[in-house]
Structures are given as C-alpha cells and as structure tokens.
Chains A and B, each alone.
Chain A
Amino acid sequence: MDLSIDVVNERDKLIAVLVGEVDVYTAPKLKESLLFLVKKEQTMLEVDMTGVSYMDSTGLGVIISVLKAAKEHESQLRLSNLQDSVMRLFHITGLDKVIDISVSIREGR
C-alpha cells in the first residue's frame, strides 16, 4: 500500500512515474517530490499515473499545490494515463477542466 516515485529524464521533459496508492499516508512524500521537480524554472513535468491504483482527495490536494507551484516557476504540469477510477475523481470535482490530463504514451518504452 505504499507509493513509489521514479523520475525519468527525457529530452524535453521530466516524467514522474508513480506506482501504488495515493492517500493521507503517501501524499506528503508525493507532494514533496513533485514540488521539488516543478520548482526548477520552466520544467515540463509529466506525471505518469498508469500504476496508481487508488487515489482520494489527499492526492487532489497534492496535484493542486503542485499546479500552483508550477505556475509560480513557469513550469508545466501534465497528468497522463489515469485509471478510470482515478479519472472519475477529477471528473466529479471538476478538476479535469483545470488540469492538463492526457493519455499520451510514453516515448522510448
């Protein structure tokens, strides 16, 4: 029930690959990791959520705070490959209209 976060460096962007569950226990670690990445000016950060099997409002809080930080540092944030149950949460809360969510397939894999 833990969460692993691996960062892959690609030519024009960073990809944070998440595997596991995002909840009140794992959210602080995720927040710290993602904030660190977008605080470098003009970073393009893609968060690959293929492996996220569970997420709740604590995860939404993390994403919002990372989005704010990204904007402050002229960075960009994109979420990709969300499982249906996770996508549903963004849909219910209306956050899918605010956050860049794509189904892009990762390069080189």
Chain B
Amino acid sequence: MTDTFDFIEMKIPAKAEYVGVIRLSLSGIANRMGFNYEDIEDLKVAVSEAITNAVTHAYDDHKEGEVTIGFGVYADRIEVMVADHGGSFNLEDIKGKIGPYEHVETVESLREGGFGLFIIDALVDKVEINNEYGVIVLMTKYLQETGVEVDANQLSTR
C-alpha cells in the first residue's frame, strides 16, 4: 500500500501574534483526523514551541521573515513541519541546555528558557531537526488507535 497523504501548507509572518492562528488550524486538522482532546493539546504545544523558536530568532536577528508550516495528513499519523529560514542554531549547543529539573537547585539558578525542544520531544512521537538551511523541525504524532505508540506520561491528577 502506498503511503498517501494530504498536504496543507501555511505561511505566516514571523510575528508572535500569528502563532495562535496556526494553533487554531492545527486543532481543526487534528480534530478532523480523529485525535483525542489530550493529543490535540499536546500537538498544539509542540507545534507552538517550534514556531515560537522561529519567531524569536527572527526577532532577535531584527529580520522580518516568514515561517512556513506544513501539515502532512496520513491515515495513521500527522506530520508537522515548521521551517524557519532565518538563522541556524547549533543543535549540540541547544541539546546541552535542555532537560527537566532533576534536583533543583536554588530558585536563583532556574533557567527561564531552553525548554522548547525538550517539551516538543516529550509531547510528540518523533522529532527530527534539520539545520542545513535555516531550521526545519519535523514532528510526527500517531493516532492512538493504531497502537504504534502509547504515551507513557500519565497525566497527573493532582
């Protein structure tokens, strides 16, 4: 069987106010595909993190760029691509700065940023990053009925 898919592409100015617009579209697409509420929330956060990174870098570089978002709609999964054709970042550098708080530390030593990639990784099934030309983040999340991946993160009921 060939792996056919529908592809939806959107382009937004690299500005903070448009991130929410993509969340609304994503929510509609994922809902149509049959994702449950919790998975849609996870997707919204993961995709927003990627777009936020792109928007923030454009802002830091004083560039008026665009961010391209592509949605690959498959029978068993969604693939979301976020492309920022602004500057590249050093992946190894960034990986070294991310992660959860293990044994904190004092309040003063808390990081205020650097969670983005870590959170994306926690919320989707697969993340791929290509930074040869700009930065492209590709996130994949499977529909749960397929049983491909079961989320091990139990929701805290506190």
Where the two chains meet, the residues of A that have a C-beta atom closer than 8 Å to any C-beta of B are 1, 21, 23-25, 54, 56-58, 60-61, 64-65, 67-68, 71, 84-85, 87-89, 91-98, 101, 103
Contacts and interface: CB of A to CB of B under 8 A. Distances in A.
Given A85-B41, A94-B100, A98-B107, A24 B156 contact: no
16 contacts: A25-B19, A54-B44, A56-B49, A56-B119, A68-B110, A71-B107, A84-B156, A88-B156, A92-B100, A92-B153, A96-B158, A97-B101, A97-B104, A98-B104, A98-B107, A103-B158
* Interface of B, helix, strand, loop or mixed by DSSP: helix
Interface residues of B, number: 37
B127 interface: no
Interface string B52-88: 1001100000000000000000000000000000000
* Interface of A, helix, strand, loop or mixed by DSSP: helix
Across the A-B interface, the 5 shortest Cβ-Cβ residue pairs? A94-B101, A94-B100, A1-B20, A57-B115, A25-B16
A99 B93 CA distance: 27
Interface in B97-120: 100-102, 104, 107-108, 110-113, 115-116, 118-119
B118 A93 contact: yes
Contacts of B113: 57, 61
B104 to A, nearest CB: 5
A89 B116 CA distance: 11
Given A24-B16, A56-B48, A88-B156, A93 B115 contact: yes
Contacts of B112: 61, 64-65
A23 B104 contact: no
